Amino acid sequence: MTANRLFGTNGIRGEVNKLLTPALSLSIGRAVGTVVRRSSPPGTEVLVATDTRYSGDMLKAAICAGLLSTGCQAVDTGMLPTPALQYGVKKSTAAMGLIITASHNPPEYNGIKCVAGDGTETTQDEEKEIEEIYFSEEFTLAPWNAVLGLLSRSHLTHRYTEDILAQVDRELIASKRFGVVVDCANGATVVSAPKLLESLGTKLVTLNAQSSGGFPGHPSEPTEDNLRDLMTMVKNTGAAMGLAHDGDGDRAIFVDERGEFLYGDKTLALVAKHIVMENGGGKVVTAINTSNVLEDVVKEAGGEVIYTPIGSPIVARVMIKEKAVFGGEENGGLIFPKFQYCRDGGMTSAAILEILANRERSLSELMGEMPEYHLCKLKFKYPPHLREKILEKYLCLVKDKNPLTLDGIKVLDDTGWVLVRPSGTETIYRIQVEDSDPVRANKKADDTKRVLLEIVEGLG
Ligand code: MG
């Protein structure tokens, strides 16, 4: 955390009782309440939810106390996946929502993410306003007789899952009786995913479907390594697919009927293809680190891809502006604008089942229809003061190749692309290379890393 920054790319994140203390949470509650009260009357609602982390209740109590002190009506909505809280905010008169989660980070972490009144993640400007009040401590506190009691509301999960069901052809999906294995990672989707998938008539097997803030099943990031049990269980049960959510349920990652792990890009492309075809064209928004597979299938279906800097709030805001038909990130965070403008793991699971039901082909066959690309990722640490200089020098070297400078530097060629970008949270540079040939992808990544290390050395 720098002197005047609290929010990173994913809200506030840190270790419990180190950065994420009750004192910080109390002040965040007071700062958010102060912002809300600038434009809303006393008693305006702010919804607060947690994931399954042990520290959730501790931080929630402090945040709610802070909100109540400003005259806001804090509403405890219990344990919820992030998209369920976002949907709840969108569908209510609440001016904001706060979700206490650190998504896929280790169990000793927690975080606070702010949601605007329309259910989207707050913009950087809105976060800056909260930060300014937090650091200046200029809280607007309510007079004694305007302080309200805490409200609780417990039906948000039900509303969320029921409204997802209304988005898809529930009868068609149910008629197929798909075998599905879901891995909730002991995270927030334990309250929603089994119910949703059972309502879609699946023959369901659950893994890690009990709430536990220690993530005893596996770390809550849905990587291939963490999903070995899921892959095995899909094969052993003959299921049509496996599905895993991250700790707060805004992402969904899939395993095909052969037990093969599927990267998020491919799911994004599969859903994009069907939505664009159904729509007879349209815009699809994604960040610049998404695979070319998306652009290939969207173009073929008659649509157009718009690229943004990395970060789901940016993707969501551009989708609103461009009236996009679909959007999302390569990490399994898909955004369905007909439902809501945020990444939604539950909605993603229902959409994939609907595609399986409609197409009457297996998930591996559907994935096999798409072009194959190979991704190679490398990273290296750099001296913090050279962050910008490295990028400037690298830009000079590649400037005749018409690079994109939306976020880092992306150089495209006939077979793929190279993206060089400093991390938003650590002093590392990330190199991502995609190519239709795996050997070429690795070579390009190695070459790029060597060039960058030479730049660092030259800058001394
Ligand atoms: Mg997440």
pTM as predicted: 0.95
Cα(80) to centroid of ligand 1, in Å? 12
User: How far is C-alpha 320 from the chain's CA centre?
Assistant: 17
What pLDDT is stored for residue 8 in this prediction? 83
> Residue 373: which of 420, 434, 329, 419 has the closest Cα?
434
Cα(250) to centroid of ligand 1, in Å? 5
pLDDT at 437 over 50: yes
Cα(445) to centroid of ligand 1, in Å? 28
β pairing state of 151-152 and 96-100: unpaired
Q: State the amino acid at position 290 in one-letter form.
A: T
Cα(184) to centroid of ligand 1, in Å? 12
pLDDT at 244 over 80: yes
User: How far is C-alpha 151 from the chain's CA centre?
Assistant: 28
Q: What is the DSSP string of 160-225?
A: HHHHHHTTS-HHHHHHHT-EEEEE-TTSGGGGTHHHHHHHTT-EEEEES-S--TT--SS-SS--TG
Strands (E), 52-196: 73-79, 96-100, 109-116, 151-152, 179-183
pLDDT at 230 over 80: yes
Find the mean pLDDT for residues 295-321. 96
What pLDDT is stored for residue 91 in this prediction? 97
β pairing state of 12-15 and 109-116: antiparallel
Cα(398) to centroid of ligand 1, in Å? 34
Provide the 10 A C-beta neighbour count for residue 152.
9
User: How far is C-alpha 116 from the chain's CA centre?
Assistant: 16
Question: Architecture of domain 264-368 in CATH?
Answer: 3-Layer(aba) Sandwich (3.40)
Residues 144-167: pLDDT tens digits? 999 999 999 999 999 999 999 999
374-459 under CATH 3.30.310.50, yes or no: yes
Task: Kindly state which CATH superfamily the domain 175-258 is placed in.
Answer: Alpha-D-Glucose-1,6-Bisphosphate, subunit A, domain 3 (3.40.120.10)
Cα(113) to centroid of ligand 1, in Å? 11
Name the CATH topology of 12-158. Answer: Alpha-D-Glucose-1,6-Bisphosphate; Chain A, domain 3 (3.40.120)
Cα(7) to centroid of ligand 1, in Å? 16
Query: Residue 69 catalytic?
Result: no
Find the mean pLDDT for residues 282-300. 97
Residues 6 or more apart whose CB falls under 8 angstroms from that of 292 comprise: 371, 373, 416, 417, 434
Query: Under the phi-then-psi rule, with left for phi > 0, alpha for psi from -120 to 50, and beta for the rest, what region is 177?
Result: left
> Residue 273: which of 343, 185, 370 has the closest Cα?
370
Task: Say if residues 352 and 369 touch (Cβ distance below 8 Å).
Answer: no
Query: Under the phi-then-psi rule, with left for phi > 0, alpha for psi from -120 to 50, and beta for the rest, what region is 230?
Result: alpha
What pLDDT is stored for residue 59 in this prediction? 98
Residues 6 or more apart whose CB falls under 8 angstroms from that of 190 comprise: 52, 184, 209, 210, 211
Residues 30-87: pLDDT tens digits? 999 999 999 999 999 999 999 999 999 999 999 999 999 999 999 999 999 999 999 9
Cα(311) to centroid of ligand 1, in Å? 12
Cα(163) to centroid of ligand 1, in Å? 21
User: How far is C-alpha 426 from the chain's CA centre?
Assistant: 19
pLDDT at 369 over 60: yes
Task: Say if residues 298 and 284 touch (Cβ distance below 8 Å).
Answer: yes
The full 3-state SS of 437-452, as one line of letters, equals CHHHHHHHHHHHHHHH
Q: What is the mean pLDDT of the chain?
A: 96
Set 103, 220, 312, 349: catalytic member:
103
Cα(446) to centroid of ligand 1, in Å? 30
DSSP 392: H
Residues 162-192: pLDDT tens digits? 999 999 999 999 999 999 999 999 999 999 9
Sheet of 179-183, strands arranged across: 203-207, 179-183, 241-245, 252-255, 261-262
Every domain range in the chain assigned CATH 3.40.120.10: 12-158, 175-258, 264-368
What pLDDT is stored for residue 169 in this prediction? 98
Confidence of residue 3 (pLDDT cuts 50, 70, 90): low
> Residue 85: which of 5, 11, 181 has the closest Cα?
11
Angle at 376 between CA 372 and CA 386, to 5 degrees: 145
Confidence of residue 423 (pLDDT cuts 50, 70, 90): confident
Cα(248) to centroid of ligand 1, in Å? 5
Q: 82-90 and 156-165 helices cross at what angle (nearest 10)? A: 90
What pLDDT is stored for residue 4 in this prediction? 63
Every domain range in the chain assigned CATH 3.30.310.50: 374-459
pLDDT at 1 over 80: no
